[in-house]
Structure 1
Amino acid sequence: MERGRGGGVALLSEDLLQNILSRLPALSFANAGCVSRSWRRAAGDVLSRPKLASAISLNPSFQDAVKEVLDSVLSRPIRPHFAIACIGLKFSLERTHKLITKKLGSATPVITSVARGIIGSDAITEEFKEVKWGVDVEDFNLPANKDRGIVLIVGFMPGLKVDAIPLLRELEEPGISLIDKFVMDIRNFSAAVSGCTSPTGIVMFGDKHADMKPVLEKMDYAMSMETVILGEESGHFMYRSGDDSRNISGSLKNSCDGVALVFARDNDKPQGVGETQFHVALSTGVVPVGPTHKAASVKVKGDGSERSTWLTARKEGLKEALDGERLLHDIYDEMENENASHDLYIGVTKRRKCSIGSEKVRWVTTLEFHDVLGGDEEYLFVDGVGIKTGDPFRFYRSDSDTALSSCRHVSEEFRNLKQAWTHKNSYHFRGVADGGDKTEVCGGIIFSCYGRGDSFFGQANVDSSPFLENFPGFPLAGIMCGGEIGRVHLSSADHQGGQEESSPRSYLHYYSTVYLVISHTPSSLES
């Protein structure tokens, strides 16, 4: 038998070689691509489409848990283009971040954050779980592994460029985030690789000591509606950018208020690489209560991240200004005194001027939620700032029935998405005997409120069910957090009784779950 250069392996058929390579762990797969030109080409065929790999571990040992998820996500071929790791409070953020960045390499953008719960398939048993740890309180009835665990998401995104871009704060000016610079950094990165200032998608992580509302408002203003934005508002994280100039660890000039994992189309993508699409959906968990009010007087108290707003308000159509006790009394009557079982918010419709740098100012209308902290005989107290006299608002309460119904609606959205793909594929590939390649899902990521979960619904895995029911067998992972970022457009009639002429945008939610579905449509050269 003629062996030829490279020995017998050179005689392997292309299909057999691809079958072998597809079974290799990530490191061995990367090494195999260096064997020869034909092996490199076969390896490229194996990884020609986007891939998402994810796993969770609840191993109480920090090092063992990290090893389990790394071994799991790297057990099959993948070239990491980004990674997101979320851990429990009892694990070391710094050590976790160091281990993962070392394993994945310095060129891979990595975000590591502390979560209030994790979602995904177990690295050892493959059992799907939604694990909620809750808030930072001592509960001696909880198991020993409380706040111990990790979820790791690693993605390969051919046709996209990915990097982590920080939102900086000057230490000499501790009250000022460099929001305009942050938005321009995102736009410049996207323009440099795609020719378009609006990227495909942004996964955002905010710091718990920063106010993300003005940041998200400017991001929404600056990006086209085709840009998907989702993430966590209030957390604690570390990051590594693929561009070392963006890594500020140990900087004496800046701290970090947030970080955006930015996905932009690659103008230099190889011929034959298809299109990757991001699809976002929202399951809400709050319902409006009572009539529309307008802020009558507004005061801001506190400083830094502890700022709150004290206000009085008038019911729409009435002149009398109501204090906090009266406002809460009326709302609790509307709720039939069920106030103990619901969290309470106000949803404020804000019409504001917005611009980036010297660009033309535009008016934007947003719906922003504020936690209700309490009230007295003078004022209603709500978390956060940015409310002005005359702003209309309604009270909202958390509601499990609304959340369950909303999850069913998301599941229907995903079914319709699948049907649209099926129709498109049957039309595009009509006449092809085997049906050809087609649009298909690659995986999903979700950000869910820590107030939801089995204690909220009375059953397990409700938030994950829309994805699991429609895309079984595809990877899904995520976290439970406080303040879910999800860029959606709302009907004003649903939220303000139809009083506003323009529909508000909303990008920060509570008691919600935000879903990201990643799909891929092959090019004709892949077919």
Structure 2
Amino acid sequence: MEKSKKADMTFIASMNDDILQNILQRLPAKPFAFASCVNRSWNIVCNHILSRPKMVSAFSRNSDQLKAVEEAIDKALSEPIRPDFVIANVTCGYIGKTLDMITERVGTRVPVIVSVVEGVLGKESCNDKAGEVKHEVGLTNDDMFTGPSSFVVLLTVGYLPGIKVDVIPVIQAKEECEARIGDKLVMDIRNFVSAVSDDAAPACLMLFGVDTYVTEPIIRKLDYAMPAETIIVGDQRGEEFLHKRANELRKFEFHEDESKVLACLIFARDRHRPVAEAGRVQFHTAISRGISPVDLRYKVANTLPSTLPKWPATLMTAKRIGEADVLNGEQILDDIEANQLGNPLRVDDPCIGVIKRRKYSVGLEQKPEIIASLVFHLVAGADEQYLTVKGAGIETGDDFQVYIPDLKVAEASLGAVSSQLRNIVSKPNKREVVGGFVFADSGRGDFFFGRPNADTSPFLENFPELRFGGVFCDGEIGRGLFVEEEESSSQGQGCLHVVSSVYLIVSYACS
């Protein structure tokens, strides 16, 4: 028996690197990690296998939460990978247990975000088929243990050599104002980047917020403070999130007088990795819109603040641009319906896009800048006095236009996104897409398009083998213009969208 063991060890040691690589690259993540510690030559082979970045997503719809999380983790870690970050998105359930299970599998050095979302999309862990799953309204956490549930978990694991990743939380203390929170987040981001990178700003920010009005001014502050090359994507209004920063032994504990606002997953280039290597990973974004403007423009005549649960609202009247008559809420909706040539218009369908020209600064900067941004507000109702829209910050004199969901626009926009993804890997660029993530409005999906997997089609058409993921949300964040539009800067642009899908694409230089 002893001779047999020695013979096996001699055979293993004598294997050439090609054979060894063929074997090691088939291992799941944990055995692969052990193999890299065997000896120097094995470590070199393992490093060669992981010489390129990797981003893997998988979802499970097992009605048992613990089994679903385990299935998603097993699939995401079924190949060699050294996790730099983990994102878990669930539709319901106990997210603390999900975070504990992930930390147990990947270790305490890895930053993790767990968030509750409206639904997920991507490829299923059991069969690698693309799919979209949304949370069934009305179910509670207890339903998972008393009958059929709509629990789904999506797990995304990323390995990005040359990139430093961590979580920066945004926590609001009692009575703390939004401006101060936004300034603190900007400074926390800058401090992290200066500590790990030679760059002045992060390469990418992924945001996971909770359903509170506080997120909106903070995201606009980020849009102002971050340079144009920083990609910003995310979910503005999730139901809940938990986070664990890199090298923390346990998840963050909240005090009674604190409330969660945002978890920011930050990606910055590592100053300790060669420039050529760190420059391989690139982040790209594309935005598919699903709304079209009604050909009428208005100016806010009067506003009156109101309050709704969690979210503020604004009561307003308006004038058509160039006219003196003040229109109430019902008159504005009648105006829209008449302009739509008699097409029916549901009260919960339209939104208004307000051009806001506001002064922005960070901290004690001496010269605030006036920035124009397009901010969407959902129409909540109308009567003989006012048009009621969700959100605050609308002022007398602001210009706005009405937008409505538009299937034709959405289909054409998906085609434009698909074309942009093809351009990323065009021959002159010599780039390869290694990961993707979608933030899709919860109003989209198969019901909106009349067909399955529409929002995933840009990935499926261009990269059918890609293990992408995504979530349905009620406040998609995506920096930049819609890919098929050329809007003038005077109209403004913004990070917050409605009835849209925001695509994050991760690529690397092939040579």
**TM-score, length basis structure 2:** 0.92
3-state SS in 2 of match to 1:255: strand
- Mapping of residues 121-520 of structure 1, within 5 Å: 121-133=123-135, 135-136=137-138, 145-173=148-176, 178-235=181-238, 236-242=240-246, 244=248, 248-251=252-255, 254-269=258-273, 273=277, 275-302=280-307, 305-335=310-340, 336-340=342-346, 343-359=349-365, 360-419=367-426, 422-425=427-430, 439-489=431-481, 502-520=490-508
Displacement of 1:9 in angstroms is 2.1
**2:434 aligned partner, one-letter code:** C
Change (3 A) 1:230 1:273: same
Which deviates more from structure 2 when the two are superposed, residues 502-511 or residues 379-388?
Answer: 502-511
1:119–1:478 CA contact under 8 A, matched in 2: yes
Cα separation, partners in 2 of 1:491 and 1:465, compared to 1, 3 Å:
closer
1:418-444 deviation per Cα after TM superposition (whole angstroms, max 9, x unaligned): 22xx1244xxxxxxxxxxxxx211011
| 1:53 equivalenced with 2:59 (yes/no) | no
The answer for unaligned runs of 5 or more in structure 1 is 139-143, 426-438
The Cα of 1:302 is off from its aligned counterpart by 1.9
Structure 1 distance, partners of 2:116, 2:268, is: 26
Secondary structure at the aligned position of 1:213 is classed as helix
Q: Distance in 2 between the 1:491 and 1:276 partners? A: 22
Does the 8 Å CA contact 1:342/1:397 hold for their aligned counterparts?
A: no
- Alpha-carbon deviation of 1:72? 0.6
**Aligned partners of 1:116 and 1:147 also within 8 Å:** no
Amino acid in the other structure paired with 1:413: Q
* 1:32 shift after superposition: 0.6
* Deviations, residues 328-376 of structure 1 (Å, cap 9, x unaligned): 1111222324113971100000011100001231111100000101111
Cα 1:252–1:137, aligned 2, differ >3 Å: closer, same or farther? closer
Residues 40 and 342 of structure 1, relative CA distance in 2, 3 Å threshold = same
- 1:93–1:223 distance in 2 versus 1, CA, 3 Å: same
The alignment's C-alpha RMSD in Å is: 2.5
Please give the alpha-carbon distance, in whole angstroms, between the structure 2 residues aligned to 1:264 and 1:131: 32
Native 8 Å contact 1:222 1:356 kept in 2: yes
Distance 1:175 1:211 in 2: 6
Contact 1:81–1:109, Cα closer than 8 Å, also in 2: yes
- Deviations 1:184-234, CA, capped at 9 Å, x for gaps: 101111122112231000110111124322111111111111110001010
Which contiguous aligned blocks of 4+ residues in structure 1 show a shift greater than 4 angstroms?
3-6, 134-138, 174-177, 490-495
Query: What is the deviation of 1:269?
Result: 1.4
The answer for unaligned runs of 5 or more in structure 2 is 141-146
Change (3 A) 1:339 1:299: same
Cα distance in 1 for partners of 2:66, 2:248 equals: 27
Q: Distance in 2 between matches of 1:298 and 1:321?
A: 12
CA distance in 1, matches of 2:462, 2:221: 34
Distance between the aligned counterparts of 1:246 and 1:210, measured in 2?
A: 29
- Point out the more displaced range, 114-123 or 93-102: 93-102
* One-letter amino acid of the structure 1 residue matched with residue 234 of structure 2: G
User: Deviation digits for residues 81-129 of structure 1, max 9, x if unmatched?
Assistant: 111111122x222221221122221111111111111111111111110
Q: Could you give the per-residue CA deviations for residues 270-300 of structure 1, whole angstroms, max 9, x where no partner exists?
A: 5863510011000000111131101111111
Residue 179 of structure 1 and its aligned partner are, at CA, apart by 1.3
CA contact (8 A) 2:72 2:154 kept: yes
Change in 2 beyond 3 A, CA 1:464/1:5: closer
1:161 Cα deviation (Å)? 0.2
Q: Is the 8 A contact 1:346 1:371 kept in 2?
A: yes
SS at match of 2:494: strand
2-structure distance, mates of 1:400, 1:320: 33
CA distance in 2 between counterparts of 1:484 and 1:250 reads 26
| One-letter amino acid of the structure 2 residue matched with residue 153 of structure 1 | T
Instruction: Give how far 1:248 is off.
Output: 3.7
Structure 1 residue 467, shift from structure 2 partner = 1.2
Contact 1:165 1:246 in 2 (8 A): no
CA distance in 2, matches of 1:287, 1:250: 42
- Show the counterpart of 1:43: 46
Paired with 2:137 and 2:485, the residues of 1 have a C-alpha distance of 34
Shift of 1:5: 12
Q: Which amino acid aligns with 1:250?
A: F
Aligned residues: 497
1:390 to partner: Cα distance: 0.7
Per the TM alignment, residue 456 of structure 1 is displaced from its structure 2 partner at its CA by 0.6
Aligned to 1:81: 84
For residues 217 and 340 of structure 1, what CA distance do their matches in structure 2 show?
29
The alignment's TM-score, normalised by the length of structure 1, stands at 0.89
Structure 1 residues 96 and 456, CA gap change in structure 2 (3 angstroms): same
Structure 2 Cα separation of the partners of residues 14 and 134 of structure 1: 51
Amino acid at match of 1:104: V
Moved more, 249-258 or 451-460: 249-258
Between 187-196 and 48-57, report the one with greater CA deviation: 187-196
